[in-house]
Amino acid sequence: MKKITLLAALIVALTASGQSLKQGTLSNVKKLTNDVAVKYENPQWSPDGMKVAYTEFGFEKLYVVNADGTAKRRVSNSSGVGHMYQWSADSREILVRDTRWTGDETTGVKHLHAGFLIDIESAQATRVTDDAEYMQPAAMRYSPAGAKSVASIDAKARSLSPAKFKPVSKALLAAANRNALNLSFYIDAVNDKLYLVDESGSKRLLVNGLCHCPVLSPDGTKAAFVKDDQVCVINVDGSGMRVLSQGFHPAWVGNSQLVFEKTTDDGHTYTSGDLFIINVNGSSLKQLTKTSGRIEMNAAVSPDGSKVAFTSFTDGQVYVADLK
């Protein structure tokens, strides 16, 4: 019964591309966390829509909580582990980068990464890549039979032992769009370029210029990203680039809309922040939040498009709200 429920939830989530456009209202805002001494950021929904992962400020540690706010648990205590983490397609594991410094003043200090797969039930972390200087991206890949592997442009793709990591079922993969699952991004901050990375770890230039926060549409045909503080969209073949609005941190709502943040700062800290929604053709820009007591940021949309998780810079907590 549990497997049937999981599959049904994912099928509903991944058919969100066929949903009607959201009108642009948030309601029923609730806190998922309520910790006075700790501030959080970077929430991400599990693919089945049942859980939300998030990190402490500065991408420290990693937590998972049920979408109703119950069963909060810390699944990693590592420093920086919350940067570029990714859920597995079956919502049972999270792929993370663990960052280390090796060497000394004589041999030279090296900044190295390795990939680890965290089982969210046991919080056990198993190393799945060799050391790499950058390891961007470290991303899950899925064969037609459902076998998992890890790919990176500077760390050899590695198949994962079924004895340790259960394959994703064929039914689950049939419900998911494999193009989206087997594509990811590489940000070349030195040469100011954004690349698309395929299942083998090979990269292809997508955008010239420094880009941030790239995210694939659920159907894998478009990418949203931030360039020059503007939210943009482009087809994955490199055509049809469009600038939508000033903003940051876009999140897809189906394949036709984006939620993103607009923030202001004084050079030291954020002074305001609100969430907005826009159609990917550039029409119907609407403000979702307008509160005096919160600086809303870091929006993450549930797979079925019905909810938005976000953080408030003011109190550093994770919230969830209904999106209509």
What does the DSSP assignment read for 64-95?
Answer: EEETTS-S-EEEE--TTTTTT-EE-TTSSEEE
Residue 72 has pLDDT above 50, yes or no: yes
Closest C-alpha to 17, from 301, 309, 315: 301
Q: What mean pLDDT do residues 264-274 have?
A: 91
pLDDT attached to residue 16: 44
Per-residue pLDDT tens over the stretch 214-231:
999 999 999 999 999 999
- Give the residue with greater pLDDT, 260 vs 189: 260
Q: What is the C-alpha separation between 117 and 56, in angstroms, rounded?
A: 19
Q: What CATH number did the domain enclosing 99 receive?
A: 2.120.10.60
Q: Which long-range contacts (CB under 8 A, 24 or more apart) does 111-115 make?
A: 113/138, 115/150, 115/152, 115/155
Among left, alpha and beta (phi > 0; psi -120 to 50; other), residue 313 is alpha
Q: How much of the chain exceeds pLDDT 90, in percent?
A: 61
Residue 11 pLDDT class (50, 70, 90 cuts): very low
- The predicted pLDDT at position 143 comes to 87
Q: What is the pLDDT of residue 5?
A: 47
- Structure token digits, residue 203: 């990269």
Tell me, what's the pLDDT at 108?
66
Paired tokens of 123: 């919080």
- Give residue-wise pLDDT tens across range 98-112: 877 766 667 666 667
pLDDT for 153-164, tens place per residue?
776 667 888 888
If one counts the domains in the chain, the total is 1
Task: Report the pLDDT value the prediction gives residue 185, as an integer from 0 to 100.
Answer: 93
Instruction: Summarize the confidence of residues 171-199 as an average pLDDT.
Output: 87
Give me the domain span that covers residue 312. 2-323
